[in-house]
Amino acid sequence: MADSSWDGRRDAFREATMWFVETTRSCAGRWDEVGLGEWTVRDLVGHTSRALLTVEAYLDQACASVVVPSAAQYFTSALATRGDPAAVAQRGREAGAALGPDVVRSVSGIASRVLARIASERADATVATPVGGMHLQDYLPTRTFELTVHTCDLAVALGLPLDVPQRAASESLDLMGQLAARNGQGGAMLLAATGRRALPAGFTVL
């Protein structure tokens, strides 16, 4: 079971962040290889880095009120207003390019800066997300989820083992279960996870 305390959520985020940084170090010389879909490895790293950068950006924006109560509700709201997939893909490419010639150094610097910021923030700090204001303690698991899932994508692209850190995995799986339950997909996930039935083709909780 995921630790839902503020310290627990920060620990899960830290684990996911450091796994992303470590995996990025294995990308050297492979930036133009296939990463995920139409993204190169560099594009995928760029997109994943946005899971860190948005924490800073949304903390720095004025937030009039808190209207999104949980990480699960964040994804439900975000998916209901999902933008053009081509625009999402382009933002990933732009984020990858913005990392500059030394991608590993850039990612490490971003990670250090954001982790220091999180360590200094209160659980009830507010963030202005695209779907409404949230408390940081509720928004942070969405970033842990994004970091964990996309670092899995990166590990697959590089042929690395899926050594997901325990706290990051626990929090991400917990959030995935909440989304499945909300979407009426709990039964399919339970049967698949216990070896009783394969998931339907194209299954996703997002």
pLDDT at site 147: 98
Q: What is the CATH number of the domain that holds 159?
A: 1.20.120.450
pLDDT band at 83 (very low <50, low <70, confident <90, very high): low
Token pair 């990612």 in the structure block, residue: 107
The mean pLDDT of 181-191, rounded to a whole number, is 92
More confident residue, 98 or 206: 98
The mean pLDDT of 146-152, rounded to a whole number, is 98
pLDDT at site 140: 98
Domain annotation covers residue 174: no
Flag the least confident range among 2-6, 95-99, 129-133.
2-6
pLDDT at site 86: 83
Sorted by sequence, the CB contacts under 8 Å of residue 40 that are 6+ apart come out as 31, 32, 33, 34, 96
pLDDT band at 88 (very low <50, low <70, confident <90, very high): confident
More confident residue, 84 or 90: 90
The total number of structural domains that make up the chain: 1
Which structural domain range is residue 140 located in?
A: 6-165
